[in-house]
Amino acid sequence: MVKMVRDNTGRFAQRPYYTAAELDRECEHIVSAFLTARHGQFRLPVTTDELSILIEQHDASLDSSVDLSDYGQDVEGMTAFYPDRNPEVSISDRLANDPRRENRLRTTLAHEFGHVRYHRHLWAEKFMTGRLFDRRSTENKVICKRDSILDAKDTDWMEWQAGYVSGAILMPVGPIRRFVSDFCGNRGLHAAVALASEPGQQIVNDVMARFSVSEDAARVRLLKLGLLITSNQQPSLFG
């Protein structure tokens, strides 16, 4: 049973509360079951096509190339919820049509999956009370801007949760912990590694290659899990 707490943003009466560990555990289960069903094994990385299929398997439609500029020049994704049909995920055409930003596209797809999987029930409850929205309204939409896709402040709980889910889907907690543990063990590193150090930068680069993610996505995930630290943090590996 999901713990519900007061929504201080006022958008909903209550909102779901998840710890990082809960999201890590559930997302690893989701992606492991999905990939095993497709390949007979838990095979990473998750491809762009597989992320699209994952969204659609959770009863949402996906338009992977949409002009979202009316919502802002920095909008990269959007999920809209309706009372009479499934959620609709839209991805910015500027992102989708730029092959240099494939990893960013995958991050955004995984982020929008987070909204579909973890937030649709909030709108369903609103619609059950008879609350309807004009199609042109933004009240039934989660509009995701470039700067909040990966690392929103926790005061923006909805974007924080979707951002955390994005990292947990693309870089599941078990595989990434084992990956970093093997890296450190092979080099005799027994304390937490600083992001700015040479080994820290190598870990980021290796995670980028292993999980097919951007440098920003790898860095944020490694720091959130405590697998890398900033220079002013206390060293405690895998704590």
Confidence of residue 235 (pLDDT cuts 50, 70, 90): very low
pLDDT band at 134 (very low <50, low <70, confident <90, very high): low
Contacts of 48 (CB under 8 A, 6+ apart): 102, 105, 106, 109
Residues 63 and 132 in one domain: yes
User: How many domains, in total, are found in the chain?
Assistant: 2
Instruction: Using DSSP, state whether 133 is helix, strand or coil.
Output: coil
* pLDDT above 70 (res 99): yes
Contacts of 203 (CB under 8 A, 6+ apart): 180, 183, 193, 222, 227, 228
If asked whether residues 119 and 32 sit together in one domain, one would say: yes
The residue-averaged pLDDT of 65-84 equals 94
Judgement on whether residues 225 and 137 belong to the same structural domain of the protein: no
115 within domain boundaries = yes
Residue 5 has φ and ψ, to the nearest 5°, of -130, 170
pLDDT at res. 238: 39
192 shares its domain with 158: no
Is the pLDDT reported for residue 141 higher than 70?
yes
Q: Are residues 182 and 210 in the same domain?
A: yes
Q: What is the mean pLDDT of the chain?
A: 92
pLDDT class of 10 with cuts at 50, 70, 90: confident
- Residue 139: band (very low, low, confident or very high) from pLDDT cuts 50, 70, 90: confident
Q: Is the pTM of this model over 0.85?
A: yes
Q: Reply yes or no on whether the pLDDT at 233 is more than 80.
A: no
For residue 238, is it within any domain?
Answer: no
Mean pLDDT, rounded, for 57-82? 95
pLDDT recorded at residue 136: 63
End of a domain among 152, 170, 188?
170
- State whether 148 and 182 are in the same domain: no
Burial (CB count <10 Å: 0-12, 13-18, 19+), residue 133:
middle
Residue 57 contacts residue 118 (beta carbons within 8 Å) = no
Domain holding 78, by residue range, is 3-170
pLDDT at position 181, please?
Answer: 95
